[in-house]
Amino acid sequence: MAKSNVVSMFDGLANFITGLGIYGRDKSAGDTFACREISPVELTNAYRGDWVARKIIDIPALDMTREWREWQAESTDITALENEEKRLDVSHKINRALILDALFGGSAILLGGPGDPRTELTPGQIKQGGLKFINVLARWQLNASGIETDPFSPYFGEPKSYSAGGSAAGVEIHPSRVIRFVSRPRPEGETAALNCWGDSLLQSVYDAVHNAALAQQGVASLIHEAKIDVVSIPNLSDAVGDSAGQASLLKRFALANAAKSAHNVLILDKEEEWEQKTLSFAQLPDLVNTFLQVAAGAADMPVTRLLGQSPKGLNATGDMDLQNYYDSIAGKQNTYLRPRLDRLDQFLVPSALGSTPKDLWWEFAPLWQMSEKDKSAVELAKAQASQIYATTGLVPGAVLAQGVMNGLIDEGTYPGLEKAVEDYEAGLLVDPVPDPAVDPNADPNQPADPGNKPDKPSA
């Protein structure tokens, strides 16, 4: 019977606990994801007022444009293209478009070409100097109307037309004159309702950025509480029972604090007790760094790049993290930025050259820069390989010489080398004549051989 009573009591308790919902249901069963739309005002405030939010927006845009691109063409064409880019301030305005895209979920570049803004702009309409300007607009500065639903249209999925604010209000702009920047498009249904604009980068990293700012703020507020004086007073409740007692107590400790500050002496009654409590900040730096690491991870960039500091730890360089990050940026350059630059170049190139050469192309300049020591090692290895090819005869001498020359010019190993080669071929630059005083056996009518230095004359 005793055993039966115990089982009965246990069963009753188990049923009671189960009825409270403790067993058989996970506490996270009711958790769901929710997306709070961040207003443009709040996005602007975060960008202007929080340094982490601003760097998360600015750094990727800067890294995508800071080294810019390298044109491959005739030297005169390269000079004309670079001058046209400077005239239109292309790299800066692309950077600005990327920033506004990341901050507000969309931006656009307006092409100032000839013709009625309501009509289509084609590359054939652009003559030399025909591209008058390129202006950057945030998504809020463009009013889009209608969505192109024809899958055979080159503007499929984009607004059918735009109108800009200011003096151009009410004037339609053909989509061919607008280059859109939308790096984070919304799901198809929502995007159509918002004229094909996307989400801000801060929309998905907002909580991480907010928590990092909150951690820094909390630690900063604790500084004021780092040291607290605690005084125990007998019958304190009776002493502050009326306004006169409160005033007397406040006056007393104001004078005591003044004496402590002036003479480093705290005067107390015999029955009163005083102690000083201090807070420990030993773990707080790790706490702040953890929140910053979460924010950096949410923004998909290394902490060293976000904070601008060297990695800590034995033999820690951070090179691998930065190289992986730059590889990610290079991927975004080629998959996202290049199509927009190609669309711009349809009008930029004829504006610079008057036509579009067939052999014209370009590449993004490398983001990862080797040290001078590493560059020297690579150049030495290439020179040794070229010497082996020349010695073995695997590559014809003239072909190898031209290839090596092209490599030295493209890599910029020797500044001004291309111009020097042109001058040499035109007869404006000749080999130096050997000095008989240094080499008495040298023929003054023959050029010097830089690879065969004369021996030092004997005494």
The whole-number pLDDT of residue 333 equals 96
The whole-number pLDDT of residue 444 equals 57
The whole-number pLDDT of residue 451 equals 47
**Residue 54 pLDDT > 60:** yes
The mean of the pLDDT values for the chain is: 81
Are 73 and 357 contacting, i.e. CB atoms less than 8 angstroms apart?
yes
Decide: helix, strand or coil at residue 314.
coil
**Residue 435 pLDDT > 70:** no
The whole-number pLDDT of residue 447 equals 54
| 1-34 per-position pLDDT tens digit | 555 555 555 566 666 656 665 555 666 666 778 7
Residue corresponding to tokens 């984009």: 158
Q: What is the mean pLDDT of residues 433-443?
A: 60
**Residue 93 pLDDT > 90:** yes
Q: How far apart are CA 288 and CA 17, in angstroms?
A: 40
The whole-number pLDDT of residue 458 equals 46
- 175 vs 188: which has the higher pLDDT: 175
| 60-80 per-position pLDDT tens digit | 999 999 999 999 888 899 999
User: Given CA atoms 355, 360, 364, 368 in this order, what sign does their dihedral have?
Assistant: negative
Query: What's the whole-model pTM score?
Result: 0.72
The whole-number pLDDT of residue 176 equals 93
Count the neighbouring beta carbons within 10 Å of the beta carbon of residue 307: 14
Range in 45-59, 123-137, 254-268, 370-384 the model is least confident about: 254-268
Q: What is the mean pLDDT of residues 120-137?
A: 94
Are 171 and 164 contacting, i.e. CB atoms less than 8 angstroms apart?
yes
Chain mean position to CA 153: 34
Are 169 and 23 contacting, i.e. CB atoms less than 8 angstroms apart?
no
**Residue 454 pLDDT > 50:** no
Tokens of 239: 């002493």
Tokens of 224: 């004021």
The whole-number pLDDT of residue 448 equals 53
The whole-number pLDDT of residue 375 equals 77
**Residue 459 pLDDT > 50:** no
Residue corresponding to tokens 């004359």: 457
Range in 203-207, 308-312, 368-372 the model is least confident about: 308-312
The domains of the chain are located at 36-205+299-369, 206-298, 372-415
- 401 vs 272: which has the higher pLDDT: 401
Tokens of 373: 């020591």
Q: Which candidate, 102, 94, 99, 87, places its Cα nearest to that of 69?
A: 94
Q: At what angle do helices 201-222 and 90-104 cross, to 10 degrees?
A: 80
| 222-265 per-position pLDDT tens digit | 777 777 777 777 777 777 778 887 888 788 778 877 777 776 77
Q: At what angle do helices 417-425 and 397-411 cross, to 10 degrees?
A: 140
Q: What is the mean pLDDT of residues 368-388?
A: 81
The top-scoring range by mean pLDDT among 274-283, 284-293, 332-341, 444-453 is 332-341
- 177 vs 316: which has the higher pLDDT: 177
Confidence class of residue 138 from pLDDT cuts 50, 70 and 90? very high
- 52 vs 240: which has the higher pLDDT: 52
Chain mean position to CA 295: 14
- 109 vs 415: which has the higher pLDDT: 109
The proportion of the chain whose per-residue pLDDT surpasses 90, expressed as a percent, equals 34
Cα distances (Å, whole numbers) of residue 272 to 137, 227, 231, 266, 268 = 69, 20, 7, 12, 6
**Residue 351 pLDDT > 90:** yes
